[in-house]
Amino acid sequence: MYRIGCCVLSIIPRRTRERILSKKNRLDSYRPLPPALVAQLREGLLVEYTYSSNAIEGNTLTLGETRMVIEDGMTIGGKSVAEHLEARNHPEAISFTEELASQSRPISEEDIRKIHSLVMRGIDPNAGKYREWGAKISGSTFSPPPSHDVSVRLAELLNWLSNNTDEHPLIELAAQLMHRFSQIHPFTDGNGRVGRLLMNLVLLRAGYPFITNITYRDRAQYLKALQEADMGNPKRLVGLVARSVENAIDSYLRIIEEPRILSLAEASRRTNIDADYLGLLARRGILPAFKRGGRWFVSEEELQQYIETVRRKGGKRPSL
């Protein structure tokens, strides 16, 4: 974010920011969501997030294999013990992050160490403990602080987080927290995973949905964005996080607002418009219908929009 005089300019373009806020307001209008729906969404997103966050760091389990490890307790041949533990550990770390999000108290160093201990349990003998030597971030020219400064730097980071919520737009605050945490690099391993959970902690506390996922397919862009942020330009990273937040909201809205799909025969009965005529409209692209299994279908919303268009034209149907 850039400051000019007394004004703060957001990195996120105004249209993008307004679109995300509009979608979040739509989602909020459906709250409280039915518990069964929340459970359904959470189950799928938890697996997808676990897969992506681990895959970004080099875990070779596929999405399907990650699901089998988490949901069925299966062991996948040819995969390491550490890869299995990374998949099994992450859901508990996510649940702990959700628990922290429900609390109003400031985030503490103890919370961060606990998240790390859950992520790296059984993998790193120093899980939950700060590194005791220097560190090098792979692919980055940035050098983390010496180990004896880690606790001080984390305390400064958490103080910055507490005191800058009014200065930084929320999504940018979450993105920059993740980046600044990665620069401190407080642990021997697992810093990326913990940083992305801290980002989600900030977003969850602000009412954004479970869970914002930086996907594995965005890995190259994500790593490049972190490098640019290291050089003082967080624009790409903030933009990536903003798109990820919007995708998380969209995943909820797609299920909540899933349109009722009608066959053209059903649409004909609803509107008293001949089904053959609707089919002609569909083939000409006038009615936004789609084919499935050789038959034409249209959503209730698109059908209603067509009827409204005809009504505004005085009941005159389009010439074909």
Which residues are annotated as catalytic?
185
DSSP 3-state of 94: helix
Residues 6+ apart with CB under 8 A from 109: 151, 154, 155, 158
DSSP symbol at 216: G
Dist. CA 123–CA 120, nearest whole Å: 5
Please list the alpha-helical segments (H only) found in the chain: 14-29, 35-56, 63-72, 81-101, 109-119, 150-163, 170-184, 191-205, 219-230, 235-256, 264-271, 275-283, 300-312
State the pairing for strand pair 295-299/261-263. antiparallel
Nearest of 29, 68, 67 to residue 249 by alpha carbon: 29
Region at 256 (left for phi over 0; alpha for psi -120 to 50; beta for the rest): alpha
Dist. CA 286–CA 277, nearest whole Å: 11
